[in-house]
Amino acid sequence: MGKKSLKLGFYLLFALSLVSIVGLSYFTDITERSPLVLCQSWWAFPPTKEVRYYTTPEKIIIKPWLGQHHVYGVFMIPTGYRYDYLFKLSLPGENTRCGAVQPTSESLVPDVDVKPGYYLLKGYLNTRIALRLIFQGHLNQLKQPENWKLGYFKPRKKSVFSKKHTRNTGSNQTSQ
């Protein structure tokens, strides 16, 4: 009876260890993935009474085989303007997709001449979404700048008594 219970205890410990490792790796995989963002997110497109302009990327990089953050558009907007938190990718016959926008340094973007009075932003498309679109035959459409749109607007001038600042535009300016 002693050997059977020892053997049973070993198998039980082995099974529990296996389930724990698989469960932990599954949980870690889910938490490390970049979040998918809905285009209808209330925070993604700041409401404004000002005119909202739209721009297309100056350059598009599509290299998902290099891993995360290798599918993006480089947008250029005027200094002093605020931008939407997400850009929109609209391909014919597909749902509109969105991606996160972040300021970037000019030195990190070769082959893009920044106009005076402008700054650069990178709009990142989720790698899994990009791969899915490529496998569905949309690579040429992904490369078309007119399918990528980023909204931006001139914020209202704030009173000199206001302590709120505009979002960082890469030049650390505050609104007046």
Taking the whole predicted model, whether its pTM rises above 0.85 is answered as no
Six-digit token pair at 60? 């598009």
Give the model confidence (pLDDT) of 12-68 as tens digits. 887 778 777 766 555 444 434 444 566 776 677 788 788 899 999 999 999 988 888
Rounded Cα gap, residues 109 and 148, in angstroms: 18
Rounded Cα gap, residues 25 and 107, in angstroms: 37
Give the model confidence (pLDDT) of 73-129 as tens digits. 999 999 999 999 899 999 988 888 999 999 988 777 888 888 899 999 999 999 999
Q: Judge whether 147 and 99 are in contact, CB under 8 Å.
A: no
Q: Judge whether 39 and 98 are in contact, CB under 8 Å.
A: yes
Q: Which amino acid is at 7?
A: K
